[in-house]
Amino acid sequence: MLTIKNLRKSFGGRLLFEDASFQINYGERVALIGPNGAGKTTLFSLIMRTEAKDDGEVLRDEWTTTGFLPQEAEALGSETVIDVATGRAGVISGLEETLHALEKAGTVDIPEYYEAQAKHDALMDPRFEAKAKKILQGLGYGTNDYDRPASELSGGWIMRAHLTRILVMEPDLLLLDEPTNHLDLSSLLWLQNHLKNYSGAILMISHDRNFMDQIAENVLDISERKVISYSGNYSDYLVQFRKNYETQLQSYKNQQKEIKSLQAFADRFRSVGSKAAQAQSKLKQIERLELIEKPHAPKKAFRFQFPQPLRGGQRLIALKGIEMAYGENRIYENLDLVVERCDRTVLVGPNAAGKSTLLKILAAEVEFQKGERVLGHQARIGYFSQHRSASLDPDNTVLEEVAACAPDIREEELRGMLGSFMFRKEEIYKLTKVLSGGEKSRLNLLKFLVNPPNLLLMDEPTTHLDLLTVESLVQALQRYEGTLVFISHDVHFIKKLANKVLHINKGEVNSFPGGYDYYLEKTGSQDREVMALTAG
């Protein structure tokens, strides 16, 4: 289906990878991993032929159709959600232009024509809209959303509509760049189940290790300018990577020991007439060796030390008889909730159930219509929202942005903290307006944790973070001595941190005093939610 041979690509004068070779066969599920900036998205562009390679070959079977979901996409104009999801928003017209141009040129027997024709036929299928609506529901849309202008929605919701269009077309090869970034837990579980049953091949970039464990059969790792293939899912990759590293390191040490011994013999006896020939032979033996490269040590999660918060009372915050509605849409009625010291609570439930609203009520970010919000003794609250980019001063440097949050911390300490969050050397002087999405997320996390309150309220804190940064955040929050209430679609993150689960649905809040696995055991929630979302 897809064959990559000796591929080489540089970007901005920096070599991303060289001699990259791998193959993806029909029906395979492959995860593409590597640190930020390694070239994962660039590799997708080479496969899609939207970017030129420096050397090597990118070969696709002639009749293979592909579908590509980028990380970000915006609505084109006044189209509705269903227009985006069915391709009526410019996609069909674009395919028709391609077909007419190829027909005019008399090139109707080439793969490009076949692929455009196959996609056009799929989008024009009278059953397409019904299939699109079913997938939209699985990804969290309600039936009243289909005719809403897409421009009213956030970029994340628009991405779900684009993902719908690609899934309904059912291409032979799906290229997914961070497909879970903008999903809540319920829609993630739906997508996970859908992809498990997908008939085509999948190549995906993801920073969600549980998602990769559930779907991937092979892993491609872009690291140190190489692309290395591993069999199995992400957890299998971690075991193999460590084993390969230890094997190569031992081989490197053994060879260096041999070279040292040979060199020592040559140095000692090269001037001794009776052994000069032997000494020369040892030097030639060294020259004939195929040198083993010293392997790079596996990268570890950075350890971030932040000040521990002031100890609060046993009850940090209580909600009593809360009624909350947005216009005619009633979210909560007579809600009672207590958050106690050292709770690590995750909020779960279907899309639009009120999880983010509950966090905002706790954080005093929204006004409710009735009830009481009572802060406990010495309670100090910090709220980390999904959309924090606007909170950065675009004209501040990274260092200035953090210093403003922690005026009592010396610059030398701040530099160390920034370094542990992968802002090193000259990077601390970059203006925040030029940072990538991942860099902005890391900076906002550092601002949030550099002077932490004793009650953290966090809404999807792992979005745009790479695997190492997620693990670093997990470790930091495990050492945090305060209280945590959070929303996340990252199952690994949830399992590592939560000791209490609040399931929210249709205004009802049910508490489960245990971790995520305990919650699943007691409710069978995962199976029921996926079955409900895929039904109909």
Both tokens of 356, joined, read 């983010």
Mean pLDDT of 134-160: 88
Residue 390's pLDDT is: 60
Mean pLDDT of 129-148: 91
Q: How much of the chain exceeds pLDDT 70, in percent?
A: 95
Both tokens of 478, joined, read 């495990």
Note whether residue 296 is domain-resident.
no
- CA pair distance 317, 341, nearest whole angstrom: 9
- CA pair distance 45, 105, nearest whole angstrom: 26
Q: Which residue has the tokens 């971030």?
A: 304
Do 422 and 444 share a domain, yes or no?
Answer: yes
In tens, the pLDDT along 243-294 reads: 999 999 999 999 999 999 999 999 998 888 888 899 999 999 999 999 998 9
Do 322 and 448 share a domain, yes or no?
Answer: yes
Picking from 462, 509, 494, the residue whose alpha carbon sits closest to that of residue 353 is: 509
Question: Does the CA dihedral 440-445-450-452 come out positive or negative?
Answer: positive
Note whether residue 305 is domain-resident.
no
Note whether residue 280 is domain-resident.
no
Q: Which domain holds residue 228?
A: 1-64+172-261
Helix segments in 310-466, DSSP class H: 355-362, 398-403, 411-420, 437-449
Do 518 and 423 share a domain, yes or no?
Answer: yes
Do 158 and 178 share a domain, yes or no?
Answer: no
305 pLDDT tier (thresholds 50, 70, 90): low
Higher pLDDT, 529 or 169: 169
Q: Which residues of 126-138 are buried (b: 16+ CB within 10 A; e: fewer)?
A: eebbebbbbbbbb
Do 209 and 336 share a domain, yes or no?
Answer: no
Residue 528's pLDDT is: 47
Do 198 and 221 share a domain, yes or no?
Answer: yes
Residue 369's pLDDT is: 93
Q: What angle do CA 150, 152, 155 make, to 5 degrees?
A: 70
Do 159 and 214 share a domain, yes or no?
Answer: no
Residues constituting the chain: 536
Mean pLDDT of 67-91: 79
In tens, the pLDDT along 373-420 reads: 999 999 999 898 876 556 788 899 999 999 988 888 888 888 887 887
102 pLDDT tier (thresholds 50, 70, 90): confident
Contact 39, 17 (CB under 8 A): yes
In tens, the pLDDT along 111-131 reads: 778 888 887 887 787 788 899
Both tokens of 403, joined, read 């210093």
For residue 440, give the CATH number of its domain.
3.40.50.300
Residue 337's pLDDT is: 94
Classify 334 as helix, strand or coil. strand
Do 162 and 193 share a domain, yes or no?
Answer: no
- CA pair distance 422, 442, nearest whole angstrom: 8
Domain boundary residue, one of 127, 149, 169: 169
525 pLDDT tier (thresholds 50, 70, 90): low
Tell me what the pLDDT averaged over the chain comes to: 87
**Number of other residues whose CB lies within 10 A of the CB of residue 245:** 14
Do 396 and 413 share a domain, yes or no?
Answer: yes
536 pLDDT above the threshold of 50: no
**Number of other residues whose CB lies within 10 A of the CB of residue 429:** 11
Q: Which DSSP string corresponds to 168-209?
A: HH--SEEEEESTTTT--HHHHHHHHHHHHT-SSEEEEE-S-H
- CA pair distance 194, 138, nearest whole angstrom: 9
- CA pair distance 517, 469, nearest whole angstrom: 24
Sorted by sequence, the CB contacts under 8 Å of residue 324 that are 6+ apart come out as 330, 331, 332, 335, 354, 357, 361, 366, 368, 369
Q: What angle do CA 297, 300, 301 make, to 5 degrees?
A: 165
Provide the angle, in degrees to the nearest 10, between the axes of the packed helices 185-196 and 128-138. Answer: 130
Note whether residue 286 is domain-resident.
no
Give the range with max mean pLDDT: 136-140, 294-298, 310-314: 136-140
Residue 9's pLDDT is: 93
Supply φ then ψ for residue 278, to 5 degrees: -60, -45
Do 137 and 218 share a domain, yes or no?
Answer: no
- Residue 489 identity (one-letter amino acid): H
HEC string of 449-517 equals: HCCCCCEEEEECCCCCCCHHHHHHHHHHHHHCCCEEEEECCCHHHHHHHCCEEEEEECCEEEEECCCHH
Do 178 and 159 share a domain, yes or no?
Answer: no
Note whether residue 290 is domain-resident.
no
Question: Does the CA dihedral 8-10-11-15 come out positive or negative?
Answer: positive
Contact 222, 38 (CB under 8 A): yes
Contact 250, 257 (CB under 8 A): no
Overall domain count for the chain:
3
Residue 77's pLDDT is: 73
Residue 248's pLDDT is: 93
Label the pairing between strands 14-24 and 66-69. unpaired
Residue 534's pLDDT is: 43
Label the pairing between strands 483-487 and 455-459. parallel
Note whether residue 184 is domain-resident.
yes
Classify 214 as helix, strand or coil. helix
- Which value, in Å, is the radius of gyration of the alpha carbons in the chain? 27
In tens, the pLDDT along 447-504 reads: 888 888 899 999 988 887 788 888 888 988 998 889 999 999 899 999 999 999 999 9
Please count the CA atoms within 13 angstroms of the CA of 143 that sit on its side-chain side: 2
- CA pair distance 321, 334, nearest whole angstrom: 4
Do 7 and 140 share a domain, yes or no?
Answer: no
Residue 342, by phi and psi: left (phi above 0), alpha (psi -120 to 50) or beta?
left
Contact 39, 20 (CB under 8 A): no
Domain boundary residue, one of 216, 236, 261: 261
Note whether residue 519 is domain-resident.
yes
Q: Which residues of 324-337 are buried (b: 16+ CB within 10 A; e: fewer)?
A: beeeeeebbeebeb
In tens, the pLDDT along 334-356 reads: 999 999 999 999 999 887 788 99
